[in-house]
Structure 1
Amino acid sequence: MILGKLPRRQRLHTHAGSIEYVLSGEGEPVLVLLNGAGVTLEGWNRLYPAIERIGRVLAWNRFGVGASSAPLLPQTGTVVVDALRALLAQLQLPPPYLLVGHSLGGLHANLFARRHPQEVAGVLLVEATHPRDREQLKGHEGRLASVLGKLLQAPQKLFRANLHSELDWIDALCREVEAAGPFPDVPLTVVSGGNDPPTWLVAPEVLRLRRVHQQELARLSPRGRHVVARRSGHFPQLTQPELVLDVLRELAARARAQATTEA
């Protein structure tokens, strides 16, 4: 599949450091893309340019990822969500937002939605991490880096340091999600990969629990639904971008309809 082309990269200088981002598209709601652990902006490139026709789109690299500055603080969920909200404010992108979180970014989207429900129009969780998945991630940074390198056609050394840095704080992030308020009553879609890794790599019981957790994520909102990307593993946005785009279009339409109803 031909890779999509990301918009022009930009950098915003904040009191906490420089943040690398891309901003493009028009319309509402504003789509905010939250990367997986150690994944740079390239993790979304196959959604472009089609995603720009769904709404205004912001993709960004957290501190310590890509060309963004090294973090000055531990990258807990609170620190990441606060940095994102500061970025949105400085770019003058008003809420409500449609949050799109992949893998670890799903935990950040989950926390954002619970902490700031009035700022959220809808949530898309793509192969998102459940708070009780955290034990499965520990010790697998090397395998994740190998997968990332193949999918994004980049050297593994670009991802290993980022993976270690971000996963060091996953316990704190999961505790923050579990302690936050309830998930809001907003349109929610969970996309899970249906192509499981081989059992010699991941134990069957771990896979079973992960499938249960994905279903639990879809039940966070009474407006939640679950979509299985049959031909994908952990990166449906790269292996089945059209499916993810279709889900996004439908979710954005539901978010607009809800906003009209509540107006």
Structure 2
Amino acid sequence: MSTLPPKLSAAIDGVPMEYLLAGSGAPPIVLINDAGAPLEGWYKMLPALAALGTVFAYNRCGIGNSGNAREAQTGAAMMETLRALLFKADLAPPYVLVAHALGGLIANLFARSYAGEVAAVVWLDASAPEEMDARQARQGRLSQWLRRALDLAQDRDTLNETGQLSRSVEQIAEAPPFPDIPLTLLCAAPPMLPWLTSQAELDARVAGQRRLAALSPRGCRVVTAGSGHFPQLSEPELTLAAVRDALAAISPR
């Protein structure tokens, strides 16, 4: 495993939040994890990303050495914590948000709520908000058990972000429109755990991804046939290329 830079910590509303910085230059590249995932999940990409500019990665509440949440971890709560942490880290906007899976909800809401602070978005196997909400409603017994196991592992049954999906989706629907910025969505094919996914859900997933990519006039959807659910691990070069393209697209600005 590549050596990570030393981890730092800053208190946001009294809760210690763990993060790291690498590289230098603007705009900052902000990495947003999936639910329950630690910042170490970006280890394959950090050195190459640091060569492109300043890279910021962090652990959300209850992960690593970040403190437990004191409020329900809705998309808005997580977005405001991230924004406050970026300012504590002395990183000025605009940002390039690189978000994996559920982290895409945070990036989606951030770009809508603070359009002037987001220069570009790269989504890694992220789902459309309405698709995530519908998936939660359709969960089978195994999926429900996996979610409960994650809740128990994070020790935050009532505050855990996976239990706040419906409210997070509502917050995105209530937010301003997505801005006209470079947007890339890398989509896994086939999806994670295909044997648990009906054809109707697969079709809904593709339709949702196309809607996500169409949020911006400069949006595009790229199917990553060899990546699975974690393109930052299975095809880091492809993910790096998407970030590089996003930086190139905003450089004239």
Instruction: Verify same fold: TM over 0.5.
Output: yes
Shift of residue 208, structure 1, vs aligned partner:
1.3
State the identity %. 38
Q: 3-state SS of the aligned residue for 1:200?
A: helix
Show structure 1 runs of 4+ deviating over 4 A: 141-145, 156-159
Could you report, residue by residue, the CA deviation over 1:61-115 in whole angstroms, capped at 9, with x for unpaired residues? 1112221000011111111111111111111111100011111110100000000
Are the aligned partners of 2:125 and 2:185 in contact in 1 as well (CA < 8 Å)? yes
Q: Does 1:54 align with 2:49?
A: no
TM-score, normalization by structure 2: 0.90
Q: Name the counterpart of 2:79.
A: 81
Structure 1 portions without partners, runs of 5+: 146-155
Equivalent residue letter for 1:70? N
**8 Å Cα contact 2:97-2:107 kept in structure 1:** yes
Q: Which residue of 1 aligns with 2:199?
A: 204
| Matched residue SS, 2:216 | coil
How big is the shift at 1:27?
1.4
Structure 2: how far apart are the matches of 1:113 and 1:157?
27
Asked whether the 8 Å contact 1:5–1:46 carries over to 2, the reply is: no
1:125 counterpart = 2:123 = yes
Q: Is the 8 A contact 2:39 2:59 kept in 1?
A: yes
Whether the 8 Å CA contact 1:142–1:160 is kept in 2: the answer is no
Cα distance change on mapping 1:21 and 1:42 into 2, 3 Å: same
CA positional deviation for 1:163 = 9.0
Aligned partner (choices 101, 105, 108) of residue 107 of structure 1: 105
Deviation string, structure 1 residues 202-235 (Cα, Å, up to 9, x no partner): 1111111111111111110001111111112211
Structure 1 residue 161 corresponds to structure 2 residue 154: yes
The alignment covers a number of residue pairs equal to 246
Does 1:15 find its partner at 2:8? no
Distance in 2 of aligned mates of 1:213 and 1:101: 17
- Alignment of 1:177 with 2:150, yes or no, is no
| Cα displacement (A) at 1:54 | 1.4
Contact 2:12/2:81 (<8 A) preserved: no
Determine the C-alpha separation between the residues in 2 that align with 1:234 and 1:217: 17
Q: Assess if the C-alpha contact under 8 Å between 1:37 and 1:163 holds in 2.
A: no
- Report the counterpart of residue 241 of structure 2 in structure 1: 246
Gaps of 5+ in 2: none
Cα distance change on mapping 1:223 and 1:14 into 2, 3 Å: same
2:26 counterpart (25, 28, 39)? 28
Structure 1 residues 244 and 51, CA, compared in 2 at 3 Å: closer, same or farther? same
C-alpha distance in 1, partners of 2:227/2:17?
A: 30
The normalised TM-score by structure 1 is 0.87
